[in-house]
Structure formats: C-alpha cells, structure tokens
C-alpha cells in the first residue's frame, strides 16, 4: 500500500499555533485547496485523535471514503462510528495497513498528527510526504512528529510556490 503523509507547518516547524489546533486560522487558502484536493482524491484517510477532534466540524463524511481514527480509547467513539465512512481503531499502523490492503485499498492518506506520524515513520511505512510551509513563525506549538527518535531520510521531488506571500509546497519521497 502506498502511504502519503500530508502536513502543514510554520517556518519553525510547528503544526499548531501554540495550543490552538485549528490550522484553518493560519493556513493559506492555497494550502487549504491543495489539502482538500488530496482528500477528494483518496478513499482511505487516517488520522490521530487530536487531529480528529480539531477537524471533526469540517469533516464531510461520504460513501466510499473511509476515515480511520487511530486512538488508544476506541470505546469512547463507538457512538460516532459510521460503517464504511468513519471507523475508530487501536491497532498498530502495520496491522492497519495489512487489514486495509486485504480489503482492497491501494493508497492511504495520512493526515496526522505528530504521534501518529511518528508511529508510521518509525515503522518505515510512509512512502511520500507533502509538506506545506507557511511563512509564519510561532515559537511554540505541536511538531510534525512527536514521541519518536527517527533518522528518516527524504528526497525532495518538487517545490511549488503557492502564493505571493511565500507559502511553499514541498514533495518528498521517503528513502527506505
């Protein structure tokens, strides 16, 4: 299965502005268009609990598009589960990929956050990364990866300037 990670950060590598998880307050319209185009193209989207909590107001569930929330406490979300559209799991990234591959999925879009990104990268499961860098410095906030010591090597494939203020979209492949 091909796993694509997509993230946004400030120039100083923060994915949130302080403790505020709402990236829509500071991300550019150009990045938001790019992100939602990826959501539209993918039918398997995986995220962590904090990302889900921060974005559940804007998530539009659709038939034939499965979103999986990885959480240690899946029982908390049982009432929110919608068969074939929204699933909650506590399985490991490797087991999740095996199960989803067995169900016929060929691509997975990993939309974060830092803990989930770290788990997938630690197990060498990510194939490519789209990283949007917004021309902002926050000083404090969440990181792209949390809780893992990594030595992941990337190869830059493309750089695209998204707007006049200097928002940059980087595409990397992961050297495995």
Name the band, by pLDDT with cuts 50, 70 and 90, for residue 1.
very high
Evaluate if residue 43 carries a pLDDT over 90: yes
Residues 111-128: tens digit of each pLDDT: 989 999 999 999 999 999
Residue 41, both tokens: 């193209």
| pLDDT in the model for residue 171 | 98
pLDDT class for 151, splitting at 50, 70, 90? very high
pLDDT for 176: 86
pLDDT at 136: 98
Q: Determine the Cα–Cα distance for residues 81 and 146; give it in Å rounded to an integer.
A: 27
Q: Which domains does the chain have, with CATH numbers?
A: 2-162 (3.40.430.10)
In percent, the amount of the chain with pLDDT more than 90 equals 93
Q: Provide the pLDDT confidence category of residue 147 given band limits of 50, 70 and 90.
A: confident
Task: Please write the tens of the pLDDT for every residue from 44-102.
Answer: 999 999 999 999 888 999 999 999 999 999 889 989 999 999 999 999 999 999 999 99
Express as a percent the part of the chain with pLDDT over 70. Answer: 100
CB burial of residue 57 (10 Å; 0-12, 13-18, 19+): exposed
Query: CA-to-CA distance for 84 and 76, rounded, in angstroms?
Result: 19
pLDDT at 133 over 90: yes
Q: Give the C-alpha separation, 87 to 69, whole Å.
A: 6
């Amino acid at each position: 299965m091909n796993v694509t990670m997509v993230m946004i950060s400030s120039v100083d590598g923060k994915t949130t502005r302080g403790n505020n998880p709402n990236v829509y307050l500071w991300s550019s319209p150009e990045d938001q268009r790019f992100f939602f185009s990826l959501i539209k193209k993918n039918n398997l989207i995986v995220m962590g609990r904090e990302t889900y909590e921060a974005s559940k107001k804007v998530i539009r569930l659709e038939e034939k598009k499965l979103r999986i929330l990885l959480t240690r406490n899946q029982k908390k979300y049982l009432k929110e589960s919608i068969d074939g559209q929204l699933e909650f799991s506590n399985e490991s990234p490797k087991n999740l990929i095996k199960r989803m591959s067995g169900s016929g999925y060929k691509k997975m879009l990993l939309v974060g956050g830092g803990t989930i990104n770290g788990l997938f990268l630690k197990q060498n499961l990510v194939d490519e990364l789209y990283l949007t860098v917004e021309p902002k410095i926050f000083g404090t906030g969440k990181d792209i990866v949390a809780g893992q010591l990594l030595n992941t090597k990337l190869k830059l494939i493309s750089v695209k300037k998204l707007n006049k203020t200097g928002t940059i979209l980087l595409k990397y492949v992961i050297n495995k």
